[in-house]
Structure 1
């Protein structure tokens, strides 16, 4: 399988790239900085250099099509300390851009890494975190509305702890945390198995093996 990951230099993306590459898949990390290429290559992937804030669905689709991409992942984010405006232009608009580009390139499979409790944002607040949640919620809604084989993953608080391979998955799990390594493993499993199409779920650390937890989700 050929996979493109938006936000390819992020921690979850790099971990997923290594897992997927080790399974024999070809991974293209979409990044805007050419200096990130060596890190992608070290993880077993390749760099697709393109600024998602300064392109069109047609241009992105051309890049995906030229690489014969079979599936896409949105794991991009403006990052800590970024402005409210960039929460919208990256976390929301970037996800929508990829959702618009995918069908133009003949790609149906779309995995979106979102955030726990995204729909609980305060629409009257100008707090950056509330706008971040709004961006994630609106991105999720836009992807759900597309004719794609989408899956939306809403992890709890992200940690750098070693992955356990065991999780709790539910429409609403309650508050909790999860290692980035386990989120990356979930992304890899979703792509490899093709499971959980048209499902949106929260996930935190738990006691169920990842493949079993995802296999329990039905479309």
Structure 2
């Protein structure tokens, strides 16, 4: 299987790339800066330098002719302002989805944020509110497409070692989840047809990853 991963230099995407390569998949990693490419090659990931805030969807689609599935794991990141939350977390997701439709890539996984069915928490910063709004809008836009999409909403991300155990459900209380466990769940979801057209929230919990994904 050949999978394109957007935001391939991010922490979740790096772990995702390593897991996919280890299971024998071919990974095309989208990064915005040429200096990020060497890290991907060292992990066995083929880099494609393409700034999703600038590239044309038709041009990007030309690189996806042999791709079977896509994972959008990109984000504007800490330190970015409200405008980039929209241009990356929303618009770049829509651009990749557009490119996938043009290239005939049907399977699409979107990394989002927990709790988006509820109002934004009171007292959060303007930038964090813009981030949640952008993720919410990206989900709405993705659901309007004919892709075989799955939305994964992780809880509070940590850099602790992966546990291999999670709770996966349609509506969960906000709690921690390791980035490694998010990556493992994404790998499992790619090959789980029952997750198509589902929005699932994820935190660490008692259930092994494979069992948690199968039971959804």
Per the TM superposition, whether the score is higher than 0.5 is yes
Question: Hey, what does 1:160 align to over in structure 2?
Answer: 159
The answer to whether the aligner puts 1:5 opposite 2:37 as a matched pair is no
RMSD over aligned CA atoms reads 1.5
- The structure 1 residue matched to 2:77, chosen from 76, 79, 104, is 79
Q: Does structure 1 residue 41 correspond to structure 2 residue 41?
A: yes
Report the 3-state secondary structure (helix = DSSP H, G, I; strand = E; otherwise coil) of the residue aligned with 1:118: coil
Partner of 1:138: 137
Find 1:116's aligned residue among 114, 118, 123: 114
Matched with 2:146 is 147
Task: Give the direction of change, closer, same or farther, for the CA distance of 1:61–1:53 in structure 2 (3 Å limit).
Answer: same
For structure 2, list consecutive stretches of 5 or more residues without a partner in the other structure: none
Output one character per residue of 1:137-173: Cα deviation in whole Å (capped at 9) or x when no partner. 0001111111011110000000000111110111111
- For residue 16 of structure 1, what is the aligned residue in structure 2? 16
CA distance in 1, matches of 2:116, 2:89: 12
Structure 1 position 191, deviation (Å): 1.6
**8 Å CA contact 1:158, 1:179 repeated in 2:** yes
Alignment of 1:192-211 (within 5 A): 192-211=191-210
SS in 2 for 1:18: helix
1:188 aligned partner: 187
Following superposition, which runs of at least 4 residues in structure 1 exceed 6 angstroms of deviation? Answer: none
Hey, what does 1:94 align to over in structure 2?
Answer: 92
Distance between the aligned counterparts of 1:207 and 1:18, measured in 2? 24
Q: Which residue of 2 aligns with 1:28?
A: 28
Cα distance, 1:194 vs structure 2: 4.0
What is the count of residue pairs matched by the alignment? 214
Q: CA deviation at 1:120?
A: 3.3
TM-score, length-normalised on structure 2? 0.95
**Counterpart Cα distance in 2 of 1:96 and 1:163:** 30
Q: Is the 8 A contact 1:77 1:90 kept in 2?
A: yes
Shift of 1:119: 3.8
**Native 8 Å contact 2:115 2:172 kept in 1:** no
- State the TM-score, normalized to the length of structure 1: 0.94
